[in-house]
A and B are shown apart, each in its own frame.
Chain A
Amino acid sequence: MRKAIVFVVALSLVASFAMASGSGEEAPIKIGVGGAHSGDLASYGLPTVNAAELVVEMVNAEGGVLGRQIELVVEDDQCKPEVATNTAAKLVGEGVVAVIGHICSGATRAALGIYTGEEVIVISPSATNPPLTQSGEFPTFFRTIAPDDAQGQLQAQFVAEELGLTSVAVLHDGGDYGKGLADFAQIALEANYPGVEVVLYEGVTVGAVDYSAIINRVAESGAEGVIWGGYHPEASKLVGQMRSQGMDTLFVSGDGVKDQSFIDVAGADSEGVYATGPRDTSANPMDKAATEAHLAKYGETPGPFFMNGYAGTLAILNAIEAAGGDDDPAAIMAALRSENVDTPLGSISFDERGDAIGVGFAVFQVQNGQYVQLDN
């Protein structure tokens, strides 16, 4: 008797699947949105939901992709790896072809354990942890944000190629962010630019009353430039004290210093300081249009990673269209890699590992009390 029931249930399940695939031409294309939508980090995750909704609304109004409407399935992972696996399983169960998300690197990594086996394509707007793409473990993973080590590599390249230095001092504040950035810059210099010697690698004490000892060391080491990993309060002290010692050593730093308060505090000493930071896209007409659409629908300016989420959604819809449908993940991934798509971040495509080409950091320099993007 029980066997008979199981048989009937199984049969009806198979039938329902058959019906679903039979009416496939009419069914919507399902795209998942996973990320932190509640909890402490909700402010990082919700802008991406808004971005996906805005793009999908726009595309659906124009008739959808290949004549099919797009349906979003939004699931919360609270930025917690243990929740993210459940979120991923739910989205897979809903039959999504791709996921925009997740937000936090740790949660993304956990969720990828589920998606990879199911060949669900994942495009994260914000997971910057380098191994997600570089390890090669997650072939279906893409991202529309530059990885953490991109700044270090850009700094190394800038110091070696644009400034043409042969010796640099790498200083950091000992914190996760600052030391991480300094380490990436040092690794990139040693690996790619053997002509540049790292003559000093040092941590400094945050909040100390005086940095003249470490500055004397920089002078003694003969470094032509300093790469600083850390935030702006120490940077302005270091630059100020270097200049008052009469040193004109170049100063190159990251997005922790690319902040107007650095210029306010360091004053005239900040002139000529270089800092890497996310490429300024506010002049891009698509960026302006997306901001206006957000203002019109939600009544406020978009939050963090909104443009990255917007670009990711555009990229996946474009790739599905180019691949001619949502039933072949390999074709969609090939399209993501080969097709350039216009987004608020500029015209982007993805490299073999899944990092976006054309998205990333630029070098800025303080000129007349303003950070100015250098075109390089």
Chain B
Amino acid sequence: MNFEYFFRLFFSGLTRGSIYALLALGYTMVYGIIKLINFAHGEIYMIGAFTALIVAGALSLTGMPALAILVLASVVALVYSSMYGYTVEKIAYKPLRQAPRLSALIVAIGMSMFLQNYLLLAQTSNFLPFPDLLPEFSLPESWGGMVNGPQFLIFVTTAIIMVALTLLIKFTRMGKSMRATSQDKVMAALLGINVNRIISYTFIIGSFTAALGGILISSYTGQINYFIGFLAGIKAFVAAVLGGIGSIPGAVLGSIVLGMAESFAAGYISSVYEDVFAFVILVLILIFKPSGLLGKPEVQKV
């Protein structure tokens, strides 16, 4: 048993899991509030990456330092993508709030295709190089070989976001309103909560984390195209279901489990079976715990 190899795989699984988690948080929050699987979520991730690329490209002409470019491009991309999330909700999902859930689901899939093709036409179908925005720094010797700077940044960022979201939902007025809306929309409205505004906030927060994931992973892999959101979105959706959709710690746990499963399967068995292994785990967990790792069993109202 080679421990160093084991830990390398562990950290590569953690990196993957962190990326999935940033996306899965958006799926799970939206599902928690309006019981909708927002399939356009992966596209918000992709739009975040594209916006950051465009802004960073423009800023690099001014000769600013790399760190300033990173911060400015990220801020612009995060705000812009959040606006996309907000707009998508307003024009595509809100009119269908009273419609059967299946209609909203189909609209979500349509929105995903629309955004992909819109980017394809408005930008390009080629792969584009993404600038190396993450600062390269070396970690202490004892860590050095197993995890590199960008990977470390990715999971630290995810941890911060997760803690911040948990605090937001547990301890703020907005979080309380979100929980209330999630439990019973009508009752929440009767108690004076502006349900529409709370739903908009949820979409904005979800889009924010997705775009953050887009910027981090694109900078890490160094390339983007209009299709990157699809696979990442599907994997994050699986992670959210695995952890128990609707639960925030569940989304993070599910993502880490999925990332680890893929990484260890690729490292010890074969990378051809990476996806097979991930879905076998999903099936097994759902057989024994149909509501996911941390999900609450839904009480069927008769």
What residues of chain A have their CB less than 8 Å away from a CB belonging to chain B? 174, 202-205, 207-210, 212-214, 216-217, 219-220, 232-233, 236-237, 240-241, 244-246, 261, 264-267, 269
Q: Which 10 A-B pairs have the closest CB atoms?
A: A212-B12, A213-B266, A203-B272, A213-B263, A216-B8, A265-B129, A214-B271, A207-B231, A240-B222, A213-B12
Of A213, A244, A245, the contact of B9 (CB 8 Å cutoff) = A213
Q: How many angstroms from the CA of A174 to the CA of B275 in the assembled complex?
A: 13
Q: In the complex, A213→B20 CA distance in Å?
A: 16
Q: Which one, A202, A208, A267, contacts B129 given CB within 8 A? A: A267
- Find out whether the CB atom of B223 lies under 8 angstroms from the CB atom of A202: no
Instruction: Say whether B127 contacts A174, CB under 8 Å.
Output: no
B180 within 8 A of partner (CB): no
With A213-B13, A217-B266, A267-B129 known to touch, is A208 a contact of B231 (CB < 8 Å)? Answer: yes
The reply to whether B221 and A241 form a contact with Cβ atoms under 8 Å apart is: yes
Cβ-defined contact, A217 with B267, below 8 A: yes
* Interface contact A205-B271, CB-CB below 8 Å: yes
> In the bound complex, do residue A244 and residue B150 qualify as a contact, i.e. CB atoms below 8 Å apart?
yes
A265 touches B127 (CB 8 A): yes
Count how many pairs of residues, one from A and one from B, have CB atoms less than 8 Å apart in the complex.
96
User: What is the distance, in angstroms, from B188's C-beta to the closest C-beta of chain A?
Assistant: 36
Residues on A with beta carbons closer than 8 Å to the beta carbon of B9: 213, 216
B225 cross-chain contacts in A, Cβ below 8 A: 233
Check if B148 sits within 8 Å of A245, measured CB to CB. yes
Known contacts A203-B272, A240-B221; decide if A213 and B231 are in contact (CB<8 Å). Answer: no
- Which residues of chain B (192-224) have a CB below 8 Å from chain A? 217, 220-223
A209 lies within 8 A of B217 (CB): yes
Counting chain B CB atoms within 10 Å of each CB, which of A202, A213, A264 scores highest? A213
Residues of B within 8 A of A213 (CB): 9, 12-13, 262-264, 266-267, 271, 274
Task: Tell me whether B300 is interfacial, beta carbon within 8 Å.
Answer: no
Instruction: Say which residue of B128, B221, B264 sits within 8 Å of A210 (CB atoms).
Output: B221
B129–A264 CB distance below 8 A: yes
In this assembly, does B31 line the interface, its C-beta being within 8 Å of a C-beta of chain A? no
Q: Mark B223-234, 1 if CB is under 8 A from A, else 0.
A: 101011011100
The complex places the Cα of A267 from the Cα of B13 at a distance, in Å, of 26
From residue 263 to 291 of chain B, which have CB atoms closer than 8 A to chain A? 263-264, 266-267, 270-272, 274-275
Let me know if B271 and A237 touch, CB within 8 A: no
Interface of A is mostly: helix
Cα distance, A213 to B262, chains bound together (Å): 8
Q: How far is the CA of A220 from the CA of B3 in the complex (A)?
A: 12
B41 CB-CB contact with A under 8 Å: no
Rounded to whole Å, the gap between the CB of A267 and the closest CB of chain B is 6
Query: Could you tell me the distance between the alpha carbons of A209 and B11 in the complex, rounded to whole angstroms?
Result: 14
Determine whether the beta carbon of A210 is less than 8 Å from that of B16: yes
Measured CB to CB, the nearest residue on chain A to B222 is A240
Q: Which residue of B lies closest to A206 (CB)?
A: B231
Q: Does chain A have a CB within 8 A of B2?
A: yes
State in angstroms the CA–CA spacing of A213 and B146 once bound together: 12
B19 interface residue per 8 A CB criterion: yes
19 contacts between A and B (CB under 8 A): A174-B272, A203-B270, A204-B272, A205-B275, A207-B231, A209-B16, A209-B232, A210-B217, A212-B11, A213-B9, A214-B271, A217-B266, A220-B2, A240-B222, A241-B221, A244-B148, A261-B127, A265-B127, A266-B222
Q: Which residue of A lies closest to B148 (CB)?
A: A244
Judging by beta carbons under 8 Å apart, are B228 and A207 in contact?
A: yes
Known contacts A233-B225, A240-B221, A244-B150; A202/B12 CB under 8 A = no
Give the distance to chain B from A151, nearest Cβ to Cβ, in Å: 22
Do B5 and A267 have beta carbons less than 8 Å apart? no
CA distance A242 to B295 in the complex (A): 38
Which of A202, A233, A237, A244 has the most CB atoms of chain B within a 10 A radius of its CB?
Answer: A244
Residues of B within 8 A of A219 (CB): 8
- Answer yes or no: B126 CB below 8 A from chain A CBs: yes
Nearest CB of B to A246, in Å:
8
Q: Assuming A209-B221, A233-B223, what are 4 further A-B pairs, CB within 8 angstroms?
A: A205-B271, A205-B274, A213-B271, A236-B222
**A269 neighbours in B (Cβ, 8 Å):** 222
A207 touches B222 (CB 8 A): no
**A245 partner residues in chain B, CB cutoff 8 A:** 148
A240–B222 alpha-carbon span in the complex (Å): 7
* Chain A residues within an 8 Å CB radius of B232: 209
Chain B residue with Cβ nearest A217: B267
B127 touches A216 (CB 8 A): no
Whether B158 sits at the interface, judged by CB under 8 Å, is: no
Q: In the assembly, what is the distance between CA of A266 and CA of B130, in Å?
A: 9
Residues of A within 8 A of B263 (CB): 212-213
- State A214–B262 Cα separation when bound (angstroms): 10
Quick one: closest A residue to B151, CB to CB?
A212
Q: How far is the CB of B103 from chain A (nearest CB, A)?
A: 30
User: Of A204, A232, A246, A265, which is within 8 A of B222 by CB?
Assistant: A265
User: How far in angstroms is the closest Cβ of chain A from B149?
Assistant: 9
Whole-angstrom distance between the Cβ of A154 and the nearest chain B Cβ: 26
